[in-house]
Amino acid sequence: MDERALRYTLGEELGSGAVATVVRVHDRETGMVYAGKILHTRLARDGDAAERFAREAELVRHLKHVNIVEIHDHREIAGRGVLLMELVEGPTLAELIAREAPIPEPRLLSLARGIADGLAAAHEMGIIHRDLKPANILVSRSETPKIADFGMARATSFAGVDRGAMAVAGTPDYMAPETLDPLAVDPRTDLYALGCILHEMATGAPPFTGATPLGLLEQHRAAPIPSLPEGAPYSPRLRQLITSLLAKQPGDRPQAARAVVEQLVALRGPDGGAALAIPLRRDGDDARRACVRCEAPLVSELAVCLKCGFPQVHIKPGNMALYVTGPGEIADKFDSVRRERLLQWIRRNPGLGLDAAPLASSIPRLPFQIASGISQASAVTLAQSLAQLDIECESARGGRLGLAGVRTKALAIAGRRTAVVSGVVMAPAMFGLWFIAIPMVMAVAPVVFTLAFVASTRPFISARASDQRSLTPAMSSRVRKLDAVVPKIEADRHRESLRAVVSRVFALFEGSPPDARAELDAELARALDVGMLAATRLDALDRALASHDTMDPSAEVRAMLHERDMWSARLLELTATLDAF
């Protein structure tokens, strides 16, 4: 036993959780009183649990901040391993929420700032908490929140990974969508948990619920972000901040805890955060355009979706026409479910240049023209997009009658209608009035046939050139490079990281005054270059790492992990810089 440990006495129990018990510890020599964290006996014999316990002491020992429970030492006392920590007299945030939620905005902002300050200090020391939740935040008698329990924490660097660092960790109520992929976890994962905590302080409950842990994680991944109740006394800016913290994609959240601190300070100011810096968004059509395959937001300047790499539609002039041909036979009515699907897609993407007013008012028969006077490339990408809606298409040169199937349909429909009308017109012949019926048929039939033929070949959707913003030569060249690079990136997380950079760059470019664009142009072009380089290199490194054991890494693997750390940090710093531009 460590002789120095004889100076410590274990006192009464202060609390107990699933992993450890916390007791009061008296230091006979100095008179100090600490909180002592002791692993449960059954876990003390578990190598992984003991390893996490030791890692908490090692990671946080040098982390000194008013909003983090300080760890003083790791000692053996009375034959038990004890983590000596700062004693915080006060409830956990979970207990405070249970008693007092909803918490008024001024108090909520004060608590939130302290938590964000503590996170910023940890992140700046290269530590990610990974299990931030109200039960792991202590609130002192002076209302100072202090982050505790770094047992699941890991360094932001993967170069020194152990098995615990590469495992999925966290509490499902507060786990960000990306946490199921340990390589995707970074400081923004803690910011998502902070968003969950702020929502719980305002409502008394976490943002999502589920019958099972997996069901709850699916809610985090796919369910719409819940708003604070209407009528609840919270400012629009606070609501906006919570929504941004709960963004599904890390790139859509604030990019650093320090930025969240600044936003919370602004919210407490006299103007209530009038200039609050939420991650950059684009207004107008881009805010509503979505990929037909994955429904991710699109950057209109690009020819591909940055999330899934699927080609997106740009209508450009040419000599081609596109026709909907199925599913179904010639002259069949277009399926109503697919028709509604097509209408919804066009309405959600007003910048495409497609007008579906005729389709909304009637159901066409197959095949029918969807666009004419478009380029071959436009016809191909439009057909690929409609295939995602389970709609079959063919392209052909020419106008309404460019496709043989349209001519066949028109002849069939015109023939049927002419026959029906002729039958009605021939009614006088039943009474022997052939001299009236035959001239009438000869006069009416050609007119009916012509009108029916023309009507059955009319287009149900009209196309015009897609909205395209004017770009400088430098930005145009980066767009062409992005169109080539994005489909080659295999991992969703790296395409998403690149999307975070690209969307911010174009939001800055679009929002800058025309006379300032020349100066800004070079900086934004460089940002796109760095984003592309980082995303492609990270993707290549992850493909290489997939064939190695990262749980027991060799020198070669550690070198790759070290390089991965460097590029990840550079990419995160880039998005944070763009947000602060």
Residue 431 has φ and ψ, to the nearest 5°, of -105, 20
Domain 93-267, classified CATH 1.10.510.10, yes or no: yes
Beta strands in 315-430 (DSSP E): 317-326, 354-355, 368-374, 392-397
The terminus-to-terminus CA distance of the chain in angstroms comes to 56
Burial 514-535 (b: 16+ CB within 10 A, else e): eeebeebbeebbebbebbbebb
At residue 115, the pLDDT reads: 97
Strands of 392-397's sheet, edge to edge? 368-374, 317-326, 392-397
C-alpha pair distances (Å), 64 with each of 85, 87, 124, 140, 410: 12, 14, 12, 16, 80
Instruction: Tell me the pairing of strands 20-27 and 8-16.
Output: antiparallel
Where b means 16+ CB within 10 Å and e means fewer, 62-96 reads ebebebbbbbbebbebeebbbbbbbbbebbbbbeb
The answer to whether the CB of 466 falls within 8 A of the CB of 355 is: no
What residue ranges in 342-466 does DSSP mark as E strands? 354-355, 368-374, 392-397, 462-463
- Residue 388, token pair as written in the block: 């995602």
Its sign, for the CA torsion 98, 102, 103, 109, is positive
DSSP strands (E only) in 181-313: none
d(CA 178, CA 522): 33
- Overall CATH class of domain 3-85: alpha beta
- Gap between the Cα atoms of 42 and 45, Å rounded: 6
Tokens of 494: 């790296």
Task: Identify any residues that bridge with 321 across adjacent strands, giving them in sequence order.
Answer: 372, 396
**What count of Cα atoms within 13 Å lies in the side-chain half-sphere of residue 113?**
16
Instruction: Answer whether 3-85 and 93-267 agree in fold.
Output: no
DSSP-derived secondary structure letter, 290: B
Q: How far is CA 317 from CA 25, 310, 372, 382, in A?
A: 78, 22, 9, 13
Tell me what pLDDT residue 520 has: 83
| Count of Cβ atoms closer than 10 Å to residue 49 Cβ | 18
Closest by CA to 456, choosing from 369, 379, 532, is 369
Helix, strand, coil share of the chain (percent; to 5): 50, 15, 35
For each of the chain's 581 residues, which pLDDT tens digit applies? 455 557 888 888 888 777 788 989 998 888 899 888 888 877 766 766 677 677 777 778 888 899 999 988 888 887 778 888 889 989 999 999 999 999 999 999 999 999 999 999 999 988 898 899 999 999 999 999 999 988 776 666 554 555 445 555 678 999 999 988 877 889 999 999 999 999 999 999 999 988 888 889 999 988 999 999 998 999 999 999 999 999 999 989 999 999 999 999 999 876 655 545 545 554 444 445 788 888 877 887 888 888 888 888 888 888 888 899 989 999 899 999 999 998 888 887 776 777 788 888 888 889 888 888 888 988 998 999 999 999 999 999 877 788 888 888 888 887 888 787 777 767 666 666 666 767 776 777 787 778 877 877 777 777 666 556 678 888 889 999 998 999 899 988 899 899 999 989 988 888 777 777 777 888 899 999 999 999 999 999 999 988 887 666 678 888 888 898 899 989 999 999 898 87
3-state SS class at 550: coil
Question: What token pair was written down for 55?
Answer: 């890692």
Strand (E) or helix (H) holding 137: strand 137-139
The answer to whether 179 touches 173, Cβ cutoff 8 Å, is: no
CA angle 193, 194, 198 (to 5 degrees): 120
What are the residue ranges spanned by the domains of the chain? 3-85, 93-267, 315-467, 473-579
Query: CA-CA distance, 321 to 379, in Å (whole number)?
Result: 7
